[in-house]
Amino acid sequence: MTKHDNSGRYRETGLKLLSRHSISVGDSIKITTEDGEITGLLMPRYESASEEYIVIKLKSGYNTGIHVGKIKSITKLLDKDEAAVSVKTPAITANQNLPKVALISTGGTIASKIDYRTGGVHAAFSADELYASVPELANYASIDPEVLMSEYSENLRPEHWTLIAEKVAEKIKTDKYRGIVVSHGTDTMHYTAAALSFALQNLPVPVVLVGAQRSSDRPSSDAALNLLGATIFATRSEYAGIFVAMHAGTSDDTISCNIGTRVRKNHTSRRDAFESIDRTPIAFVRNNEIEMQQKDQNGLVEIFSDKPFEVKTRFENKVMLLKYYPGFDPTLIEHAINVGYMGIVLEGTGLGHVGKECFPALKKAVDAGLMVCMTSQCIWGRIRMTVYDTGRDLLDIGVIPLSDMISETATVKAMWALANSEDVEAAKKIMQENLANEISDIIPISL
Amino acid sequence: MTKHDNSGRYRETGLKLLSRHSISVGDSIKITTEDGEITGLLMPRYESASEEYIVIKLKSGYNTGIHVGKIKSITKLLDKDEAAVSVKTPAITANQNLPKVALISTGGTIASKIDYRTGGVHAAFSADELYASVPELANYASIDPEVLMSEYSENLRPEHWTLIAEKVAEKIKTDKYRGIVVSHGTDTMHYTAAALSFALQNLPVPVVLVGAQRSSDRPSSDAALNLLGATIFATRSEYAGIFVAMHAGTSDDTISCNIGTRVRKNHTSRRDAFESIDRTPIAFVRNNEIEMQQKDQNGLVEIFSDKPFEVKTRFENKVMLLKYYPGFDPTLIEHAINVGYMGIVLEGTGLGHVGKECFPALKKAVDAGLMVCMTSQCIWGRIRMTVYDTGRDLLDIGVIPLSDMISETATVKAMWALANSEDVEAAKKIMQENLANEISDIIPISL
């Protein structure tokens, strides 16, 4: 994940202190501060962290950062090779009577682990390693982990959604699991959550996507709490469906569980980056207790639904998401027609508008048989294309209004609808129906 | 703005009640409820409002909605033609000793007025009409209004920004005004605010954009309070610069004044749709009193700056904003090269990523001399392209990282930088410099 050198990326005062004591990354060390004594393994400094901190991995598996200015003494206890032997903690095993959870790893920050010896990254990921890094997991579930792929989520494409959906369906069909957890890079986790929401319908169990904004080797990592929260939700949720479980706020005790079609990564780096849009989360896991919200609301499928589980994992790649802006070039729409696209999702302004200079190209697209849908770049709120002339003109052209569907979900749904319909007209109909809480009825704006 | 028929869009119970009393839109009527008696002119029902309400314009110029179920009696006082005569209120004039404010109208909801007689829309907009509809304005400023254009803001293009910037500069150069207010459709108001922020630098006075989410003929209209708040800010702000003044929350007493490059329309319909991103607003106007925030922060230009006022109003249209999504088609980037674009602003995922399948096309774009910049679709937070391989690979290709610049502002700035630089290399340099609070230094993520 991060480039490094032999200094473990320590610099300036931190590097000087370590060099003076001939300490290098992986060594077992003891640090004395005015608050007491800490023993652990020296970890590489995280690239974006302050240079003033020394990071050590504690016996508990957690990392902690100690400010250089607070260090009274630092001593090497064991060289890194000896330390590597001593760190092999006895294996923790979960009680087999606990609910069973399948954990499917797809890559991303949560699955990555910086090797304290080489500084390299490895995604090895056994049940033993999981329990060793998050020991509380063994109290809540018996986990069957499987590495499906190891990709940064920005590299995932619709064909990966198909693979993930098929793997989740395979696990569900064994009838062994109370829930499924999918670990995933955060960059596009909400797109994958939407994809699974359409590909897997009438789920008999909860499927929970989880990631980490900061890798598990950083003192401020959210990986452990997110994974624990996702697992607790997977074993106790009263609803089946696709969810995203991530930090709910800046405090380190609450996980929010969001509906898979209504969640968005709204911050580049904060641990509570994921937010439900125009909804509240369906549950919180606070201090390891689940708090279900909105019981009987939102039309969520009850767990153990008697409708048959449906698996439709194909996605049509020829769908283009285009965000409108002043000066937007209508030749982008013509390009979509020319290269054989089947659908366009517009991220318009306000209530669902694009400038009138786009009208001829949009008409051409609709006439050429493309499905053209409208969402809003505002993110929150619903579009209403009957309020102003612009919206009505677009409706007349044949643009499909998508109410309060967020644009990322709309793009994914368009890919799914076009791949799983007899023709474009049928896909247009699907786009306007609610399948997985992605769209809600139009509620008139009150006076 | 809205289609209508002779019934003033009343339907069902509302229409029945009005028909029974032979009352039509424009008539002067008296309504009795258990709360008392209300007299005013019957207005057309707003299209998206509930059918259960009757809307009347009060003498104060404000509209109010009355639930049909609460009406005890309804009487016609004057037929609409007689009423039209009686409504001509005596002209209000402002004290010429008050601070002078130029009000430039560009169109949009705030400037639109549904004619109560024809139901048609007209944008006529004299000082008299302004004072008549928002009488409090006359207490704070002597306003010189001018209609520059009358466009829905989704139809504005970079050439309109040039016209608006030139008009603002012309007003400023008269040295007559304590501040400038620009009324604008809300759909792209934040893009125009960014455009003016680059086109007009070292401003000697505040320039305040203002709009309305709901037109002035709706009972819940925010037009009057927004315009009043913008005007008060324009006459009292301690800072010069470009700002956006809109409702700060759901209560009807506070306006937030946001920095022009750091504001975004984040809701399709709420009155408090505009939010400052990664900053707090620079001021609030609460109950008509100004509360300046962040004094001496953010590097804002002090009012009456002694730096010379700079006017550079050209924008290069050949800049494309592309939002990344799983399945994104790299031929979009090739299309930009093929049709002679000079710049691409990517709205990447997370810390500033796009899938690796885009790398060859991006390299081709950079090699072809295009300026390619990176922002994040997360909206909040800053990109950091040195954390993961993907980011570093993109930096190696020559993609310019834009830190915490929001993508809309980045697109506008790229258009401006390319139009006002000797060459692409100079434009790239400008993109990474802070000109108008659009970008801030990289602050290391704390431990």
B7 belongs to a structural domain: no
**DSSP code for B358:** G
Q: Under an 8 A CB cutoff, do A50 and B273 touch? A: no
pLDDT at position A283: 93
Provide the 3-class DSSP secondary structure of residue A245. Answer: strand
B282 belongs to a structural domain: yes
A388 contact residues in B (CB cutoff 8 A): 1-2, 152
Residues with Cβ within 8 Å of A327's Cβ and at least 6 positions away in sequence, in order, are: B157, B158, B315, B317, B319, B415
CA distances from B158 to B243, B416, B429 (A): 19, 9, 22
Residues B369, B387, single domain; the answer is yes
Phi and psi at residue A417, to the nearest 5°:
-60, -40
CB hemisphere CA count around B250 (13 angstroms): 1
Q: Which two tokens stand for residue B201?
A: 């630098």
DSSP of B152-205: -GGG--HHHHHHHHHHHHHHHHTT--SEEEEE--STTHHHHHHHHHHHEES-SS
Q: Chain B contact for A65, CB < 8 A?
A: yes
Helices (H), A307-406: 331-338, 359-367, 389-397
Query: Pick from A2, A158, A270: which is nearest to B387 by CB?
Result: A2
Residues A241, A113, single domain; the answer is yes
Residues A347, A283, single domain; the answer is no
Residues B323, B307, single domain; the answer is no
Q: 259-318 in A: which are within 8 Å (CB) of B?
A: 265-270, 273, 315, 317
Residues A42, A136, single domain; the answer is no
Q: Is the Cβ–Cβ distance between B343 and B402 less than 8 Å?
A: no
- How far is B399 from chain A, CA to nearest CA, in Å? 16
Residues A201, A128, single domain; the answer is yes
A447 contact residues in B (CB cutoff 8 A): 46, 49-50, 53, 65, 218-220
| Last residue in a domain, options A264, A289, A311 | A311
Residues B82, B124, single domain; the answer is no
- How far is B18 from chain A, CA to nearest CA, in Å? 19
* CATH code, domain with A135: 3.40.50.1170
Residues B305, B325, single domain; the answer is no
B93 belongs to a structural domain: no
| Last residue in a domain, options B292, B311, B330 | B311
Count of helices and strands (H, E) across chain B = 11, 23
Residues with Cβ within 8 Å of A368's Cβ and at least 6 positions away in sequence, in order, are: A337
CB hemisphere CA count around A371 (13 angstroms): 30
How many CB atoms are located within 10 Å of the residue B432 CB? 14
B108 belongs to a structural domain: yes
| Cross-sheet strand order for the sheet of B206-210 | B142-147, B100-105, B179-183, B206-210, B241-247, B254-259, B283-286, B289-292
Burial bucket for residue A175 (CB in 10 Å: 0-12, 13-18, 19+): exposed
Q: Is the Cβ–Cβ distance between B232 and A314 less than 8 Å?
A: no
| B109 noted as active-site residue | yes
Q: Under an 8 A CB cutoff, do B381 and A356 touch? A: no
Strand ranges (DSSP E) for B193-312? 200-201, 206-210, 241-247, 254-259, 263-265, 274-276, 283-286, 289-292, 310-311
From the candidates A154, A155, A406, which should be mutated to test the interface with B, based on the most B CB atoms within 10 A?
Answer: A154
Q: Which two tokens stand for residue B19?
A: 């028909």
* CATH code, domain with B386: 3.40.50.40
pLDDT over 70 percentage in chain A: 84
pLDDT at position B111: 57
- How far is A154 from chain B, CA to nearest CA, in Å? 5
A5 belongs to a structural domain: no
pLDDT at position B150: 83
Query: Pick from B219, B408, B446: which is nearest to A325 by CB?
Result: B408
Instruction: Please calculate the CA angle B307-B308-B310 and round it to the nearest 5 degrees.
Output: 120
Q: What is the pTM of this model?
A: 0.82
Q: Under an 8 A CB cutoff, do A357 and B157 touch? A: yes
Residues B254, B349, single domain; the answer is no
Give dist(CA B98, CA B35) in Å, integer: 39
Q: Which two tokens stand for residue B259?
A: 């920095």
pLDDT at position A117: 36
| Last residue in a domain, options B311, B336, B355 | B311
Q: 83-142 in B: which are within 8 Å (CB) of A?
A: none
Which residue, among A268, A183, A283, has the nearest Cα to A223 in the 3D structure? A183
B447 belongs to a structural domain: no
Range of the domain at B363: 319-431
Q: Angle at which helices B424-431 and B407-419 pack, to 10 degrees?
A: 140
B173 belongs to a structural domain: yes
Q: Of how many residues is chain B composed?
A: 447
Print burial letters for B343-361: b (CB count within 10 Å at least 16), e (below 16): bbbbbbbbbbbbbeebbeb
How many CB atoms are located within 10 Å of the residue A17 CB? 15
| B295 noted as active-site residue | no
Give dist(CA B296, CA B302) in Å, integer: 9
Residues A421, A383, single domain; the answer is yes
B4 belongs to a structural domain: no
pLDDT at position A373: 98
- How far is A276 from chain B, CA to nearest CA, in Å? 13
CB hemisphere CA count around B442 (13 angstroms): 15
Q: Chain A contact for B378, CB < 8 A?
A: yes
Give dist(CA B60, CA B394) in Å, integer: 59
Query: Structurally, how many domains does chain B consist of?
Result: 3
Q: 131-170 in A: which are within 8 Å (CB) of B?
A: 152-158, 160-161
Query: Pick from A160, A320, A390: which is nearest to B329 by CB?
Result: A320
Q: Which two tokens stand for residue B411?
A: 């697109």
pLDDT tens digit at each of 447 positions of chain B: 333 344 667 878 888 889 899 998 888 899 998 888 888 888 777 555 567 888 887 776 566 788 888 899 999 998 877 776 555 445 677 788 899 999 998 876 665 554 433 334 445 456 677 777 788 888 999 999 888 888 889 999 999 999 999 999 999 999 999 999 999 999 999 999 999 999 999 999 999 999 988 876 666 778 889 999 999 999 999 889 999 999 998 888 999 999 999 999 999 999 999 999 998 899 999 999 999 886 555 555 455 567 899 999 999 999 999 999 999 999 999 999 999 999 999 999 999 999 999 999 999 999 999 999 999 999 999 999 988 888 989 999 999 999 999 999 999 999 999 999 999 999 999 999 999 999 986 443 332
CA distances from B348 to A328, A408, B351, B384 (A): 18, 13, 8, 11
Q: Is the Cβ–Cβ distance between B168 and B182 less than 8 Å?
A: yes
Query: Pick from A187, A317, A357: which is nearest to B353 by CB?
Result: A187
Q: 309-328 in B: which are within 8 Å (CB) of A?
A: 315, 317, 319-328
Give dist(CA B270, CA A108) in Å, integer: 36
How many CB atoms are located within 10 Å of the residue B425 CB? 11
Is the predicted pLDDT of residue A116 greater than 50, yes or no?
no
Residues B262, B338, single domain; the answer is no
* CATH code, domain with A29: 2.30.30.520
Residues A338, A367, single domain; the answer is yes
The letter for the amino acid at B294 is Q
Q: Under an 8 A CB cutoff, do A445 and B269 touch? A: yes
Give dist(CA A352, CA B154) in Å, integer: 10
| B192 noted as active-site residue | no
Q: Is the Cβ–Cβ distance between A394 and B283 less than 8 Å?
A: no
